[in-house]
Structure 1
């Protein structure tokens, strides 16, 4: 199936307003590719959505995601399983970047995000290990500014690796958010000052960055 026909097929469906404990069928969801390519796939007989960043976008921490339609998300919980593989032409600095954007505004010029760097988690360099997870806020608070102005506050260590499923859970309440991985009881990263403030709301996006072939499955949204 050609990419244009594939995207038209994906866009032809609509999802209902988010309801309590709602599972989102990514193969039938209304989505929009924002500076990414997307296609349906299958792993072990289960459907997945495959996402790669547009190589024309060379900056980091940009609006590069599959955006889901539906009621705006403000507070609640987002759960999704992700798997990151490196593309054959991935640059040396690729880390398998993959995650979730949330509270995305209409023109994609403002959003919050958590993502992971799977290659960092088991590196021999402890500093890299400490940068396995990341929060950023687009457009003014990308990873480099946050790392410079508040070292260690918006990134942390968590165990994970490439080519394996990682269960992501994000809990958002007002100007606070917590990132949990792989069913852990406690968060691996806590942010107490979401940069767009407590009243921000918007869409949810499945986010990737350079060098990543990202796989997404089992998306669930629990709004409050």
Structure 2
């Protein structure tokens, strides 16, 4: 099921199936059309990319697109964090209900090129809030829900993400990588829900070129 709101551009693939949704993030930010929890959203234009900035604040934050309910399919976007330890957590919330209940894939750019191999293997993470936090998953199932990224992006620059959801399986690809950096099975029983831009505790983040293709 997919519905559409203002600021969403919809194109059809061959045969008229699997409509691709390309939100105008700048328009959504300028018109305050995101459903935002614990952040402020502003438009940005940088290095040829037009998108949005989520500001820094204690606690996790998410900016949901209004009028979209996503089940299975592919979500792609460009994202930029920074190489500052414990201050850059950037990613995507999906199958969301509100500001505290969602599944998410996020990145720790400060671990991308870390000298410590124990940090490098914690570059991309799956969580399912409110029950399955990163702390709980790391303690109970270490190495299963967080992995290194390949190829390794510049931690201070834009990189491309492709998240493929075929519930319960979720695969995460980075840049032009042919193999997924992370493959997990979802821990929630939600099969559909909201899609949002996500940042973690004390983290800001930049997002552009969001594209959603339902299966």
TM-score (norm 1): 0.82
1:216 corresponds to which residue? 207
Does the 8 Å contact 2:57/2:204 carry over to 1?
A: no
Does the 8 Å contact 2:82/2:109 carry over to 1?
A: no
Does the 8 Å contact 2:94/2:195 carry over to 1?
A: yes
Mapping of residues 27-38 of structure 1, within 5 Å: 27-29=26-28, 30-38=33-41
1:169 corresponds to which residue? 162
> Unaligned 5+ residue runs, structure 2?
12-17
The whole-number CA distance in structure 2 between the counterparts of 1:52 and 1:41 is 12
The whole-number CA distance in structure 2 between the counterparts of 1:80 and 1:131 is 21
2:14 corresponds to which residue? none
Mapping of residues 12-161 of structure 1, within 5 Å: 13-15=6-8, 20-29=19-28, 30-55=33-58, 57=59, 62=60, 64-85=61-82, 93-94=86-87, 96-105=88-97, 107-158=98-149, 159-161=152-154
The whole-number CA distance in structure 1 between the counterparts of 2:110 and 2:148 is 12
- Number of residue equivalences: 199
TM-score (norm 2): 0.85
Does the 8 Å contact 2:9/2:21 carry over to 1?
A: no
Q: Which runs of 4+ in 1 moved over 3 A?
A: 12-19
